[in-house]
Structure 1
Amino acid sequence: MARAGHAFTPHSHDSADKSDAALESSSRGMHVLAISFAALAVTAVAQAVIVAFSGSVALLGDTLHNFADALTAVPLAIAFALGRRVATRRFTYGYGRAEDLAGIIIVLIIAGSAAFAGYEAVKRLINPQDVQALGWVAAAGVIGFLGNEWVARYRIRVGREIGSAALVADGLHARTDGFTSLAVLIGAGGAELGWPIADPIVGLTITVAICFVLRDAAREIYHRLMDAVDPALVDQAEQILTATPGVQRVGSLRLRWIGHALRAEVDIVVECDLSLVQAHAVAVQAEHRLIHDLPRLRAATVHADPDGTDSADHHALLASHR
Structure 2
Amino acid sequence: MEHHHHNHSHAHPDLKGRNLVISILLNIIITLTQVVGGIVSGSLALLSDALHNFSDVLSLIVSYIATVLSKKEASTNKTFGYKRAEIIAAFVNASTLIIVAVILIKEAIVRFISPQEIESNIVIWLALLGIVANGFSVILLKKDADSNMNMKSAYLHLLTDMMASIAVLVGGFLMMFYKIYWVDALLTLLIALYLIYMGYKLLIASTKVLMLFTPETIEVQKIVLELCKIEPIRNVHHVHIWQLNEAEVHLEAHIDFKEDISLSKFDTILNEIEEKVFHDFGINHVNIQPEFGKCDSKKVIVQD
TM range, smaller chain: 0.7 to 0.9
Structure number with greater CO (CA < 8 Å, separation at least 6) is 2
Superposed, 1:244-263 pairs within 5 Å as 246=231, 248=233, 251-252=236-237, 253-260=239-246, 261-263=248-250
Quickly say closer, same or farther: Cα 1:240–1:90, change in 2 above 3 A: farther
Which residue pairs with 2:194 in the alignment? 209
- Segments of 5+ residues of structure 1 without an aligned counterpart are 1-7, 307-312
Quickly say closer, same or farther: Cα 1:49–1:296, change in 2 above 3 A: farther
Return the alpha-carbon distance in structure 2 between the equivalents of residues 235 and 156 of structure 1: 33
How far off is 1:188 after superposition?
1.4
Helix, strand or coil: the match of 2:72? coil
Return the alpha-carbon distance in structure 2 between the equivalents of residues 77 and 202 of structure 1: 30
Q: CA RMSD in A?
A: 4.0
How far off is 1:189 after superposition?
2.8
Conserved 8 A contact 1:244-1:285:
no
Helix, strand or coil: the match of 1:281? helix
Conserved 8 A contact 1:145-1:182:
yes
2:287 is the counterpart of 1:301: yes
Identical residues among aligned pairs (%): 20
Instruction: Decide which of 146, 152, 166 is 2:150's aligned counterpart.
Output: 166
2:70 is the counterpart of 1:83: yes
Instruction: Decide which of 287, 294, 300 is 1:314's aligned counterpart.
Output: 294
Which residue pairs with 1:144 in the alignment? 130
Return the alpha-carbon distance in structure 1 between the equivalents of residues 234 and 289 of structure 2: 12
Superposed, 1:1-322 pairs within 5 Å as 17-18=7-8, 21=9, 24-25=10-11, 27-28=12-13, 31-39=15-23, 41-42=25-26, 45=29, 55-58=40-43, 59-63=46-50, 65-134=52-121, 137-145=123-131, 147-148=133-134, 151=137, 155=141, 158-161=144-147, 164-192=148-176, 193-234=178-219, 238=223, 242=227, 246=231, 248=233, 251-252=236-237, 253-260=239-246, 261-287=248-274, 290=277, 295=282, 297=284, 299-306=285-292, 314-316=294-296
Q: Which amino acid aligns with 2:197?
A: F
Quickly say closer, same or farther: Cα 1:315–1:287, change in 2 above 3 A: farther
After superposition, the C-alpha distances for 1:203-242 in whole angstroms (9 at most, x for unaligned) are 1222222222222122112211222243324479939964
Quickly say closer, same or farther: Cα 1:156–1:113, change in 2 above 3 A: farther
Return the alpha-carbon distance in structure 2 between the equivalents of residues 175 and 225 of structure 1: 25
Conserved 8 A contact 1:169-1:220:
no
Greater displacement, 246-255 / 222-231: 246-255
Which residue pairs with 1:4 in the alignment? none
How many residues are matched? Answer: 296
Quickly say closer, same or farther: Cα 1:87–1:236, change in 2 above 3 A: farther
Helix, strand or coil: the match of 1:72? helix
Return the alpha-carbon distance in structure 2 between the equivalents of residues 117 and 179 of structure 1: 15
TM-score by length of 2: 0.75
Conserved 8 A contact 1:248-1:268:
yes
Conserved 8 A contact 1:286-1:302:
no
How far off is 1:52 after superposition?
6.5
Helix, strand or coil: the match of 1:231? coil
Conserved 8 A contact 2:42-2:117:
no
TM-score by length of 1: 0.72
How far off is 1:291 after superposition?
5.2
Return the alpha-carbon distance in structure 1 between the equivalents of residues 32 and 157 of structure 2: 21
After superposition, the C-alpha distances for 1:162-201 in whole angstroms (9 at most, x for unaligned) are xx33332333333332343233223213312121111112
Which residue pairs with 1:3 in the alignment? none
Return the alpha-carbon distance in structure 2 between the equivalents of residues 83 and 46 of structure 1: 29
After superposition, the C-alpha distances for 1:100-125 in whole angstroms (9 at most, x for unaligned) are 33223212321232133224323433
After superposition, the C-alpha distances for 1:112-158 in whole angstroms (9 at most, x for unaligned) are 32133224323433443333253x63353244346546645764652
Helix, strand or coil: the match of 2:154? helix
